[in-house]
A and B are shown apart, each in its own frame.
Chain A
């Protein structure tokens, strides 16, 4: 088991090196660079910038160096000094920008993920054990609606409902009057009145899909002979269902739980943009639009590190829960 984990981790290293290089190259691929975008923005703002000044800027940022040199400068700083470089647009260290938003992102995503599982697993199990019952149909309708309505649309509707009927002030994490104030009781209450919308949006979107998956997995497992064996041993229905088929039906979930890690980090970009939440998602979107290469590159690098770690974690968890995986 230990050897398996070590082997998995060793394989992750070349994968990460490759992914980091590819992500750096992809960011450079579109025509123009950060300076092009920056200068265009300044000119739109009415400033006058000569071509000479533009070339100087480019030289300053080291954008004229060969790609490999730029890549090495970036990756060696990360590896040796933990320095992700400076965001060209924000003129601030990348790590600072990301850390600032990471806490909220992780809290929001984790709570919504936990809600998703708490809703989806029992409902999926119920739907499967009471197939074609009234509640099964109700959950099915809810499931397809939840899957069919885009998250951002649900976010807009909920904002509208909260604003018109509940007289709440919506969007952002806190109301403007609390912005930049220290955290106290009033601010927390105010945040709670904002944060339920993204939670509901993220949890329903995720749960709707997972209910269907759980139901299908359970229907497959409930037909298997070992379920009948468990009944024939004298266990009650609840014990049989939760101890045997649920254990097996959860394995596909466990094998994908690692993907939740990068998802937690990036959050739901569109929902976050619509709701004006200070999470990492909109930051990534902005960095890509501006070709803010160190910021975007660091983002993608962190995402891929999380993906690789998440996959390794999933594999280990699955090996722990499903003995059939362990030794093959």
Chain B
């Protein structure tokens, strides 16, 4: 693998918590190689919320699972490095770790927590909420069962679970979807992780509950000063919670920037098109909603050159369909993977 061919990596800046560089995850299938993640780079600083936006199949969840080394067993680590700064300050090269290594098992649940999409099925149906939290606490901390239980109740209180003393002995099927997601968050926060990976945590919830869970995550993030990688396909949610945003398309990050940059000055045509396809109250009166033409290409036949070019309004024949674009870096730190980044019209996106 790439480990041996690497030049020694320059140390990460001190504020950096997580850094992904050119990560590739491929799946060999009967019909060919699927490059689900094809050179993804992003980073997360301490206490920062990074929103990752993309359509289904853009590779956002697979990338997140690579951070935990929990990608499907058929996956191949094709390229790149993933680094994480531990609480002790030392850097771990996660991408070189074995799936079941001691370090990874300490990181999971101990320093990196994860919240999943399906609160209905992501908790064990045959154990109480308390048991599941207590086991995690006792795995990572040297505490007695009574202390772990007290901590479980404290965690449930912290996630604003109603009647935490009662809920701790309840099974997941006694809880509503929103309460289960609160329990799931309590579980992920069991050992005060420095990083929380939230993989579409509100997608399966109704809008009211979604707003409550987002509010909870935001207040917890500030209270605990923890970093969050927030994966979603919903731009509205990203605007609400994220500090910075990475937009993914077909296994690549096509644009990164602060929330303001992404929403008011998107540089990549894909980001612009996505923003224009969001219905807005008051603005869209009498106007037809724009859509992105075409379909997401099937993963076996990714277009040559810029993979977005067949659907791009600004595609230039001879350039976009031939050359794979490099990241264009702007002075503010915003990056866009487009040959014409910064040149294409922003048009209505700023609205």
Which residues of A are interface residues toward B (Cβ below 8 A)? 224-226, 228-237, 244, 247-248, 321-324
Number of interface residues of B (CB under 8 A): 33
Pick from B109-117, B269-277, B323-331 the stretch touching chain A. Answer: B109-117
A323 to B131, CA, bound (A): 13
Interchain CB contact (< 8 A) of A226 among B114, B121, B140: B121
A284–B351 Cα distance when bound, in Å, is: 86
Q: In the complex, what distance in Å separates the CA atom of A231 from the CA atom of B100? A: 10
Tell me how far the C-beta of A248 lies from the nearest C-beta in chain B, rounded to whole angstroms.
6
- CB of B126 within 8 A of CB of A248, answer yes
B114 and A232 within 8 A (CB): yes
Are A232 and B109 in touch, CB under 8 angstroms?
Answer: yes
- A-B residue pairs in contact (CB < 8 Å), sample of 27: A226-B121, A226-B123, A226-B124, A226-B125, A228-B116, A229-B116, A230-B124, A232-B68, A232-B109, A232-B116, A232-B188, A233-B109, A233-B139, A233-B187, A234-B105, A235-B109, A236-B100, A236-B105, A237-B100, A244-B127, A247-B127, A248-B126, A322-B125, A323-B125, A323-B126, A323-B171, A324-B125
A324–B173 Cα distance when bound, in Å, is 7
Q: When A234-B107, A234-B110 are in contact, do A248 and B100 touch as well, CB less than 8 Å? A: no
B26 interface contact, C-beta 8 A? no
Nearest Cβ distance between residue B242 and chain A, in whole angstroms? Answer: 22
What residues of chain A lie closer than 8 Å to B110, measured between beta carbons? 234
Any A CB within 8 A of the CB of B278: no
Q: Are B116 and A322 in contact (CB under 8 A)?
A: no
- Report A-chain residues with C-beta under 8 Å of the C-beta of B109: 232-235
Q: How far is the CB of A291 from chain B (nearest CB, A)?
A: 50
How many residue pairs at the A-B interface have CB separations less than 8 Å?
Answer: 77
Tell me if B41 is interfacial: C-beta within 8 Å of chain A.
no
From residue B104, how far is it (CB to closest CB) to chain A in Å?
A: 8
Chain B nearest Cβ from A237, distance in angstroms? 6
- A230, B113: Cα distance in complex, Å: 11
Closest partner residue, chain B, to A230 (CB atom): B124
Given known A-B contacts A225-B116, A228-B70, A229-B123, A234 and B106 have beta carbons under 8 A apart: yes
Task: Report which of A233, A244, A322, A324 forms a contact with B108, defined as CB distance below 8 A.
Answer: A233
Asked if residues A248 and B125 are in contact (CB atoms below 8 Å), the reply is: yes
Residues from chain B with a CB closer than 8 A to the CB of A324 are 125-126, 171, 173
A152 to B184, CA, bound (A): 53
Residue in chain B with minimal CB distance to A248: B126
Asked whether, in the complex, the Cβ of A234 is within 8 Å of the Cβ of B136, the reply is yes
Inter-chain contacts of B107 with A (CB < 8 A): 234
Q: Which of B100, B106, B124, B140 contacts A229 (CB 8 A)?
A: B124
In the bound complex, residues from chain B placing their C-beta under 8 Å from that of A234 are 105-110, 136, 139-140
> Judging by beta carbons under 8 Å apart, are A323 and B173 in contact?
yes
B135 beta carbon closer than 8 Å to chain A: yes
Most buried by A among B68, B125, B188: B125
Q: CB-CB < 8 A to B190: which residues of A?
A: 233
Cβ-based interface call for B122 (8 A): yes
- Do A233 and B136 touch across chains, with their CB atoms under 8 A apart? yes
7 closest A-B pairs by beta carbon, nearest first, are A234-B109, A233-B109, A234-B108, A232-B114, A225-B122, A323-B171, A233-B136
Known contacts A231-B108, A248-B124; 18 additional CB pairs below 8 A are A225-B121, A226-B123, A228-B116, A229-B116, A232-B113, A232-B114, A232-B188, A233-B135, A233-B136, A234-B109, A235-B105, A235-B135, A235-B139, A247-B126, A248-B125, A323-B125, A323-B128, A324-B125
A10 to B295, CA, bound (A): 63
List chain A residues, Cβ under 8 A from B114. 229, 232
Q: Which of B114-150 touch A at CB < 8 Å?
A: 114, 116-118, 121-128, 132, 135-136, 139-140
Q: Which residue of B lies closest to A245 (CB)?
A: B124
| Complex: A232 Cα to B113 Cα, angstroms | 7
A225 touches B187 (CB 8 A): no
CB distance from A230 to the nearest CB of B (A): 7
**What's the least CB distance linking B152 to chain A, in Å?**
13
* Contact (Cβ within 8 A) B122 A228: yes
B233: min CB distance to chain A, Å? 18
CA–CA, A248 to B125, complex, Å?
A: 8
Partner of B122, one of A229, A235, A237, A247: A229
B residues within 8 A CB of A228? 70, 116, 122
